[in-house]
Structure 1
Amino acid sequence: MEKKTVEKIAKKAYDLGFSFEKEYRGCAQCAIAALQDALEVRNPETDAIFKAATGMAGGGARQIDGNCGAYAGGTMMIGYHVGRERDNFADPEQIRMENFRLVKKLHQRFIDEFGTVTCSEIHTRTMGRPFYIEDPDEFQKFENAGAHTDKCTRVVALAAKWSTEILAEEGYLDK
């Protein structure tokens, strides 16, 4: 795929991720939806991935102590493109190792940008401290810190962009 085409798709993924997180919330689902639309892979399979990601928001059920939902969403969509199939559970071709290689690239981009893939630590890096968003007062402080203005919105946007770039760099968008 041509570099200009990849850049255009990656920008679309970024823009969609940002706007979906701003409007709808749910970082994992917003990253997945951005990738579905930017990569034009919305179908019953990816809609099932979207649905399955519901509880991954805010580090898992908004508890903030797990992986960033945007990271999880990007990981899941990389898996959609290159992942072990249930009908090939034994995986003699070692497809899962190829998946791990790609997801490690996404992981590294998170580390390079945020120093972590953990929700609460990303809060600290982007907003100065973690916010327990289940608590209404903390949620308001989270919002006031810019969570859905330019902080979590940017994290989701980057996850969608990076996932697109990784899939393109590895030739999976040509297939």
Structure 2
Amino acid sequence: MKQKHELIEQAAQAGFQYEQIYRGCAQCTIAAVQDTLDLRNDAIFKAASGLAGGCGGTCNGICGGLSGGIMMMSACFGRSRTGFGSENDEKQCSSRMAKDLYQKFVDTYGSGICKEIHREIFGRTFDFWNAEEKQAFEDAGAHTEKCPSVVANASRWTMELILQELEQRGLDLKDFTL
């Protein structure tokens, strides 16, 4: 099995490339982590369809990279349906991991909100539902460097947190499934 550092960087590189090619920050983060862990799950991937651009392209919600990372961590360690009626360890674990990922966004970009991240990396915000604004976003390097870098970080940090949790639980990737 690859070393922890190699897996983390593999996820970051995949996230960067997926965002450049396919777009959709939440799905690109999920795909990068799933492919790195060799744990594909199309239902999780599909469920992230509307999360790009801060929820439906509004830029007013959390970054899709952040929401995709939270979805993957919760898929790995979150509360199952059988534990639905209780405040169990799995629910607490996924909440802790989500908070840790959110904090990495705040430390790096000043926020986990899409438009605030745009303000940080582009110097302005964009209205994705306006064709001229959407073109300005692309012209500013949205899918050449800017958003792919954010997705790379989201994928990197998500992998770090998942691998850290596996390590703390004494689990090995080869024994882990979604």
Structure 1 Cα separation of the partners of residues 94 and 38 of structure 2? 20
Work out which of the residue numbers 59, 67, 78 in structure 1 matches 2:73.
78
Structure 2 Cα separation of the partners of residues 117 and 127 of structure 1? 15
Q: CA deviation at 1:140?
A: 0.9
Q: CA deviation at 1:145?
A: 1.0
Instruction: Name the counterpart of 2:166.
Output: 171
Structure 1 Cα separation of the partners of residues 141 and 3 of structure 2? 32
| Pairing 1:124–2:94 present | no
Q: CA deviation at 1:94?
A: 3.0
Work out which of the residue numbers 14, 27, 34 in structure 1 matches 2:12.
14
Q: CA deviation at 1:91?
A: 3.0
Instruction: Name the counterpart of 1:114.
Output: 109
Unaligned runs of 5+ in 2: none
Identity fraction in percent: 45
| Pairing 1:159–2:154 present | yes
The one-letter code sitting in structure 1 at the alignment partner of 2:104 is R
Aligned-partner SS, 1:171: helix
Structure 2 Cα separation of the partners of residues 125 and 109 of structure 1? 15
Unaligned runs of 5+ in 1: none
- TM-score for both structures, normalised by structure 2: 0.91
Indicate the larger mover: 86-95 or 125-134: 86-95
Work out which of the residue numbers 10, 27, 32 in structure 2 matches 1:29.
27
- Structure 1 runs (4+) deviating above 4 angstroms are none
Q: CA deviation at 1:92?
A: 5.0
| Pairing 1:102–2:97 present | yes
- TM-score for both structures, normalised by structure 1: 0.92
- Alpha-carbon displacement from aligned partner over 1:57-104 (angstroms, at most 9, x marks no partner): 101110111110010000000001100111221235332111111111
The one-letter code sitting in structure 1 at the alignment partner of 2:27 is Q
Alignment coverage as a number of residue pairs: 170
CA gap of 1:125–1:38, structure 2 versus 1, over 3 A, is: same
Aligned-partner SS, 1:58: coil
Cα-Cα RMSD: 1.5
Partners of 2:16 and 2:152 within 8 A in 1: yes
The one-letter code sitting in structure 2 at the alignment partner of 1:75 is I
Structure 1 Cα separation of the partners of residues 73 and 101 of structure 2? 9
Partners of 1:26 and 1:54 within 8 A in 2: yes
Structure 1 Cα separation of the partners of residues 95 and 88 of structure 2? 13
